[in-house]
Amino acid sequence: MKGLPGFRDFYPEPIPTADSWSLDLRRHIFDTWRGTAERYGFREYDGPPIEELELYTKKSGDEIVGQLYNFTDKGSRNVSLRPEMTPTLARMAAAHTRNYKKPIKWFSIPQLFRYERQQKGRLREHFQLNADIIGEENLAADAELIALLIDTLRNLKLTSDDFVVRLSSRHAWQDFFENSSAHEKDVCDFYQIIDKLDREDPIVSGEKLAKLGFSLEQVNDFIESGQATDELAAIIGNIEARGLGDFIKVDYQIIRGLAYYTGPVYEAFDKRGKFRAIAGGGRYDHLVKLVSGGKTDLPALGFGMGDVVLAELLKDRGLVPPLGQALDAFVQITDESLRNASLSLVQQLRQAGQATEYPLLRAKPDKQLKRALELKAKWLVTLDNANQAHIKNLGTREEQTVPLVDVASALQD
């Protein structure tokens, strides 16, 4: 039996093959995500991995169903594995908004699903850091989130040589759109065309734009001008004040595909152009109202950062830290008559907080030593008799003899 297509198995280090997914690497990423978000004052939340299908079609239309991992459950409900976290967050926030002081700063690390054939950096499931701020319309919130995004990547040891946040805004494009003779109803189609500019044939894009009353040249000129609006200048000023100015630039090519974005939008890109976008987000001021059926109306914004592209990027840049078991002590048993005394010692060490291993069954000395080295044990502990042991630091090769009762404290050094 194999796993389902597009789903991953995560093995502990050492991973069996070079392209296996490492749970230790995953944990390194999650720990960094969680640690950075908490230092920014964000609180962790979670929701159900399955939601009613309608939660997703409500804001994106029925076309999205083709991309969803959806099915009918035994109660004849139309449900879907969650493809993104934002609708769940909007639902949760709308339901209990009065119970929290504003702004609400929350993050989550959900596993998300989509039903499509896999390709580079895109599987049928992935984990994503989601950080959102609800209830603050000021640009300071946008800047705070972008700073979190940048610091999260910096804490993974990526530098301004590795990535840049490309900042844009729907407001800027809206002004551009309204300064023309185009019809307001076409604005969503217009955004779609901009979103596809870099992967669509320019001739096709030009034709589509012409139908809405624009020329490709006109659009390209606007993108190339890269002139920051007051809104974007304020965000960049905020980021610069934190000393993170090297990590951000205006780029009107970014507009994001989703219909619900309403203001500033951004994506973090690998500077060498080898990978897909590392992260993306923006402001969605009307989504909470939409999901709550009009009961609650709160401005909101957020970003998502997936683990698949990130893991590939870290491996590519040699930024994966040493991973694997970090054993404190290996208690070897060379004399089986001392097994019970050794077990007693193992118990003491474990109770003292030392990660401790020992041979479950009689084993040859060379095998035991080899195992201790493979497990990267810091200490090798051997009982000489029922009252005395010698401990060896496997890093420095220093050895000393200590009374049995002092072993645990000797290992603390």
Residues in contact with RNA by the rule CB under 7 A: 2, 5-6, 16-17, 56, 64, 67-68, 83-84, 112, 114, 116-122, 128, 192, 195-196, 199-200, 256-258, 280, 304, 332, 334, 364-366, 368-370, 373-374, 380, 382, 392-395, 397
Q: Minimum distance between the CB of residue 219 and RNA, rounded to whole angstroms?
A: 17
Q: Is 113 helix (H, G, I), strand (E, B) or coil?
A: strand
Cβ distance to RNA smaller for residue 200 or 240? 200
Indicate the residue among 242 and 339 with the shorter CB distance to RNA. Answer: 339
- Considering beta carbons, is residue 168 or 238 the nearer one to RNA? 168
| % helix, strand, coil for the chain, step of 5 | 40, 20, 40
Q: 242 vs 393, which CB is nearer to RNA?
A: 393
**In the complex, what is the shortest distance from the CB of residue 281 to RNA, in angstroms, rounded to a whole number?**
8
| Cα distances (angstroms) measured from residue 254 to each of 77, 143, 165, 357, 403 | 37, 17, 10, 53, 67
The least CB distance from residue 237 to RNA, in Å, is 26
Beta-sheet pairing, 111-113 with 104-108: unpaired
CB nearer RNA, residue 48 or residue 237: 48
User: Roughly how many angstroms between the first and final C-alpha of the chain, as a whole number?
Assistant: 48
> What CA–CA distance (Å, rounded) separates 320 from 27?
12
**Angle 307-316/23-39 helices, nearest 10 degrees?**
110
Q: Which is nearer to RNA, 211 or 295 (CB)?
A: 211
Q: Strand, helix or coil at 22?
A: strand
Integer Cα distance of 209 and 60 in angstroms: 23
Closer Cβ to RNA, 185 or 199, answer by number: 199
CA dist 84 and 174 (Å) reads 26
Using CA atoms, how far apart are residues 66 and 112, in angstroms rounded to an integer? 16
CA distance to 23, 173, 241, 270, 275, per residue, from 317 (Å): 19, 35, 28, 11, 12
Closest CB to RNA among 11 and 222?
11
At closest approach, how far in Å is the CB of 116 from RNA? 5
* Least Cβ distance, residue 241 to RNA (angstroms): 28
Which of 230, 309, 314, 315 shows the shortest CA–CA distance to 264? 230
| CA–CA distances in Å: residue 316 to residues 20, 162, 241, 274 | 15, 11, 31, 10
Nearest to RNA of 42, 330 (CB atom)? 330
Cα separation, 321 vs 157, whole angstroms: 10
Query: Least distance to RNA from the beta carbon of 320, Å?
Result: 18
CB of 181 to RNA, least distance (A): 26
Minimum distance from CB of 312 to RNA (Å)? 8
What tokens does 217 get? 């040249």
Pairwise CA distance, residues 21 & 91, whole Å: 33
Min dist CB 98 to RNA, Å, is: 28
